[in-house]
Structure 1
Amino acid sequence: MRQIVLDTETTGLEPEQGHRIIEIGCVEMMNRRLTGNNFHQYLQPDREIDEAAVEVHGITNEFLEDKPRFGDVVSDFVEYIRGAELVIHNAPFDVGFINHELRELGGWDVVGDICTVVDTLVMAKKMHPGQRNSLDALCKRYDINNSHRELHGALLDAEILADVYLAMTGGQANLLLGGGLEDGEGGDSAAIRRLDGERLALRVVPAEGPDLEAHEARLDTLDKAVGGKCVWRSSE
């Protein structure tokens, strides 16, 4: 499964009022593992950025003067997200802006025709009804460090959202035996020891009764969160 965690920064709140995207940040995951194949681009909006927006993300018109326009990168961006599942927090906002940019150019399919979308804000509201479900609130709830986030930034927020999404849907799955990470950080092949000769007789104790019921209840919760079968049931 290829998923793209996406976030944007904009000149304001309403594309219908002429506001534009000024930053796109995307983080790629394959089978719930970060690949490092990310997409990040600042964009020249050809209009002034609202002061309130600058206070949120800190991006100024002066910084964007020499940056490409959306039309200059649209081909690379569309091919990057094509066929993937987009993971976005408050998806109508970002998708609305992206679709507005695509329609302004003409000749491009909208997001719904290019890929599918999962809204983590909708997921969070179902999982934690009546609670705050902003990205900061979810970081606190799932014990994810976002202390380096002084201002909003599309790539930084996408990286944080990737951690939040993995925590919401059952935790990361990129650890190897011996406690090492898949990319080798903290891993040591010498820590994995093969047994030669006669193998030890291991006692297998299958789950039953309350344990099985608790397991099924957990899978039901994950099914509801992803709006279908979670990865563990999909593999059955």
Structure 2
Amino acid sequence: MMMTPAPAPVAALARVFGRFARPPRSELLRANHAHFEAFDQNRPLADYEFCVVDTELTGLSPASDEIVSIGAVRIRDLSITADSFYTLVAPRGPVPKVATMIHRITPGMLRDAPRLREVFPDFLRFCGGALVVGHNVGLDISFLDRAARDILGGRLRTPCIDTMRLAQVYQQELWENYYDQFDATVSYQLGHLCKNYGLPTFDQHNALYDAMQTAYLFLFLVKKLRSGGINTLRDLYMAGRSWRWYL
């Protein structure tokens, strides 16, 4: 995904937390908007809850492709909790063979799965007031935001953190501080990063396992960046443009 510079904090906050002439119809979305309207970036990172999310898809176009599974785990006190969410999702159209080859979710497995309309509210309740974390999270959020518009009648206002971008910031710090560690061939794929950093590894292209893998990567990167003086959420935002608002 092409990364663009993050907006200045004040501009970003104004865009995200601006009041809307028409409040969303859905009670879930009203709660989502109200929670993040008063959102404070200046607390220590350990004060926040994070919901690490991954989706498996029929393809990469939010306009024409669909979600076939959602996985999520919660982080509290900068520790992975036992709270998790996982569901298969029956798409309205067929699953391309190339997609099945990647995530191994077959049409037969989806035959009795619920529709996205049935499970999306439960997923949003699971996320609650937590910040969303994902690897190349913009792709996941583009599908989830479309679901919010189609099912609940409005857009999500949940701030998101991209572990791929955090890994780029961390690698840049390594290169700047230890020039002999420069490696222009470094891969930012989730599995490759976790292997390189010595983190636990899981089967890939399973939404729950990928969410768990991303959670380990996120905590590793936060620990490394905190040792460099990044202690609050605003610090994380300001560190080398390390986060974006995918809204």
The reply to whether TM is greater than 0.5 is: yes
Confirm or deny: 8 A CA contact 2:120 2:147 kept in the other structure. no
1:11 equivalent in alignment to 2:58: yes
Structure 1, gaps ≥5 residues long: 172-214, 230-236
> After TM superposition, where is structure 1 displaced by more than 4 Å over at least 4 residues in a row?
220-225
Equivalent of residue 209 in structure 2, options 143, 151, 156: 156
Confirm or deny: 8 A CA contact 1:83 1:116 kept in the other structure. no
- Work out the CA distance in 2 between the residues paired with 1:221 and 1:83: 20
Equivalent of residue 133 in structure 1, options 179, 188, 199: 188
- Work out the CA distance in 2 between the residues paired with 1:154 and 1:169: 22
- Work out the CA distance in 1 between the residues paired with 2:192 and 2:217: 10
- Work out the CA distance in 2 between the residues paired with 1:118 and 1:47: 31
Aligned to 1:219: 229
- Work out the CA distance in 1 between the residues paired with 2:149 and 2:233: 34
Aligned residue type for 2:75 = M
- Work out the CA distance in 2 between the residues paired with 1:35 and 1:43: 24
- Alpha-carbon deviations, 1:118-144, whole Å to 9, x = none? 011111122224432110121122101
Secondary structure of 1:227's match? helix
Aligned-residue Cα RMSD (Å) equals: 2.5
Structure 2, gaps ≥5 residues long: 1-47, 173-183, 240-247
Aligned to 1:190: none
1:1-236 aligned within 5 A: 1-16=48-63, 18-107=64-153, 109-111=154-156, 113=157, 115-129=158-172, 130=184, 131-146=186-201, 148-149=202-203, 151-170=204-223, 218-219=228-229, 226-228=236-238
Q: 1:221 to 1:79 in 2, by over 3 A?
A: closer
Confirm or deny: 8 A CA contact 1:169 1:225 kept in the other structure. no
Displacement, 1:110? 2.1
- Work out the CA distance in 1 between the residues paired with 2:193 and 2:235: 14
Secondary structure of 1:170's match? helix
Secondary structure of 1:80's match? helix
The structure with higher relative contact order (CA 8 Å, sep 6+) is: 2
Q: 1:105 to 1:221 in 2, by over 3 A?
A: closer
- Work out the CA distance in 2 between the residues paired with 1:72 and 1:85: 23
- Work out the CA distance in 1 between the residues paired with 2:150 and 2:227: 47
Confirm or deny: 8 A CA contact 2:230 2:236 kept in the other structure. no
**Number of matched pairs:** 180
Q: 1:78 to 1:222 in 2, by over 3 A?
A: closer
TM (norm. structure 2) is 0.66
Secondary structure of 1:34's match? strand
- Alpha-carbon deviations, 1:9-39, whole Å to 9, x = none? 01111121x2110100000111112221111
TM (norm. structure 1) is 0.69
Displacement, 1:158? 0.5
Secondary structure of 2:161's match? strand
Secondary structure of 2:83's match? coil
Confirm or deny: 8 A CA contact 2:71 2:85 kept in the other structure. yes
Secondary structure of 1:35's match? strand
